[in-house]
Amino acid sequence: MEEIRRQVATARRRLVMQQFLGVLPWALLVAMVIAVIGLAIPKLWIISVDSQTWFASWLIGSVAAAIVFTIGWTIVVRRQALDAAIELDRRFGLKERVSSVLSLRSDELESEAGQALLSDASRRVESLQVREKFGIAITPRVLLPVLPALVAFALVLVPDAQDKATAASSDSAAIREQIKRSAQQLKNRLAEKRKRVEESGLKDADQIFKKLHMGLDEMSKDGNVDRKKALVKINNLAKELEQRRKALGDPDKMQKQFEGLKNIERGPAEKIANAMKDGNFDKAIEQLKQLQEKMEKGDLSEQEKKQLAQQLQQMQQKMQEMVNSQREAKADLERQIQQKMDEGDTEAAGKLQRKLDDLQQQDRQMQQMEQMADKLGQASEAMQNGDMESAQTQLSEFSDQLQDMQSEMQQLASLDEMMDEIGDAKSAMNCDECAGAG
């Protein structure tokens, strides 16, 4: 048990360090942006403070605040021992051996089954090289604070504001400041959402948010940007988000497709089917995990195994029917469009084409559903042949696919939130009363 705890502790330390290093660049980025804003103040207004003291106070204070924040955040959300054990199982393919041992109560651990599990887990972790799978990766994001830091130091070369300025230049500066303030507000909200995206492991959404952040940086640093140019850039960012959203499809329609998983026979997989029918993928994944644990421990009776095989076959058939129905609907629309085109009715053909486009947006999810159905069919066949190990493997792959689908739906939710934030930023840039504060 000590060896298991030692390996888990090593994995946990490295996971926590990775958490720290993952947030630090963003904290420093925000700190540097705040420092740049602070350092820009004497360039825009006359203040009665020594410029060197002002510079040192903002720069050192912002960096110190970023480090303190990152340490505090890491302490609050640091990965626990069980999280590390789960990651250890996943990365080394230990099939939940280590996490299962840590989850056992003392009386369960002393049982014959518990001792067997402990012995097996100890033997497998003894030779593990944790550092190989839990590397401390230094990603390009460490460069994020560099640009605003260079801007901060470059501000030293910029002369302080002068008492005299023309009304025209004052108005122009005010508009630019309003745009910068609106962009900064959007970047701050974007940073919060990106942090949640990183924690959820949504890599595609993270890349999109990174691109948005770069676009906002470019707009903030453009000294000649006016309101019209800023709104054009904001609209371009919104178009990129909308393109990604269309590529992912419509989550509401996808969840509605799963409503077909009803009237499944009673048995071990009943809760999984009901959760998927209700669109609650988190619950479905959790129920599937519990079922896999029962299968691995041999807790299913022969009657339950038979029921499970039948249920999986039913689910496979219903999901395949959904896929076939979507394909038939597309083919029918294509025939109708061709017929209307032959008749010269382009208006009706256009309406039908829009319906076809809506269906085609679901192609990605339908492909996923067909793959999931295939895994369920293989699992059912394996159980009917008495091959429980193969059935567990197919269910694990089915669970991974379900998790991918859930991640895409979470990504869609994040994109919708970001679209709303961009709309608010556009309003703030046009708002003379609020001066860009929203």
* CA-angle at 117, arms to 112 and 123, nearest 5°: 125
Domain ranges (residues) in the chain = 1-162, 269-414
The yes-or-no verdict on residue 166 having pLDDT over 60 is no
Task: Give the pLDDT band of residue 435 (cuts 50, 70, 90).
Answer: very low
What's phi and psi for 344, nearest 5 deg?
85, 10
Higher pLDDT, 358 or 20: 20
Quote the pLDDT of residue 82. Answer: 83
Task: Give the pLDDT band of residue 165 (cuts 50, 70, 90).
Answer: very low
In DSSP notation, 400-421 reads HHHHHHHHHHHHHHHHHHHHHH
Which two tokens mark 357? 């486009």
One-letter amino acid for residue 311 of the chain = Q
| Mean pLDDT, rounded, of the chain | 77
How far, in Å, CA of 391 to CA of 292, rounded?
9
The yes-or-no verdict on residue 326 having pLDDT over 50 is yes
The yes-or-no verdict on residue 162 having pLDDT over 70 is no
Span 360-380, average pLDDT: 84
Among 143-157, 218-232, 276-290, which stretch is predicted with the lowest mean pLDDT? 218-232
How far, in Å, CA of 273 to CA of 421, rounded?
36
How far, in Å, CA of 436 to CA of 418, rounded?
18
Span 173-178, average pLDDT: 64
Write b or e for each residue in 150-166: b if 16 or more Cβ atoms lie within 10 A of its Cβ, otherwise e.
ebbeebeeeeebeeeee
The yes-or-no verdict on residue 244 having pLDDT over 70 is no
Task: Look up tokens 């109708």; give the residue.
Answer: 336
Higher pLDDT, 427 or 403: 403
Write b or e for each residue in 6-34: b if 16 or more Cβ atoms lie within 10 A of its Cβ, otherwise e.
ebbebbbbbbbebbbbbbbbbbbbbbbbb
Which two tokens mark 235? 């609209």
Among 157-171, 238-252, 277-291, which stretch is predicted with the lowest mean pLDDT? 157-171
Q: What is the pTM of this model?
A: 0.45
Quote the pLDDT of residue 229. Answer: 67
CB 130 within 8 A of CB 92: no
Question: Minimal CA–CA distance to 4: which of 126, 110, 96?
Answer: 126
Percentage of the chain beyond pLDDT 90 is 5
Higher pLDDT, 215 or 239: 239
Task: Give the pLDDT band of residue 336 (cuts 50, 70, 90).
Answer: very high
Quote the pLDDT of residue 248. Answer: 62
Which two tokens mark 278? 């209700």
Quote the pLDDT of residue 163. Answer: 38
46 burial (CB, 10 Å; 0-12 / 13-18 / 19+) is exposed
Which two tokens mark 293? 């644990």
| pLDDT tens digits along 57-114 | 888 899 999 999 999 998 888 888 888 888 878 887 888 877 787 777 777 777 878 7
Residue ranges of alpha helices (H) inside 78-105 are 81-92, 97-103
| pLDDT tens digits along 17-72 | 888 888 888 999 999 899 888 888 877 777 777 778 888 888 889 999 999 999 99
Q: What is the DSSP letter of 202?
A: -
Quote the pLDDT of residue 168. Answer: 42
One-letter amino acid for residue 117 of the chain = L
Among 36-45, 207-216, 323-332, which stretch is predicted with the lowest mean pLDDT? 207-216
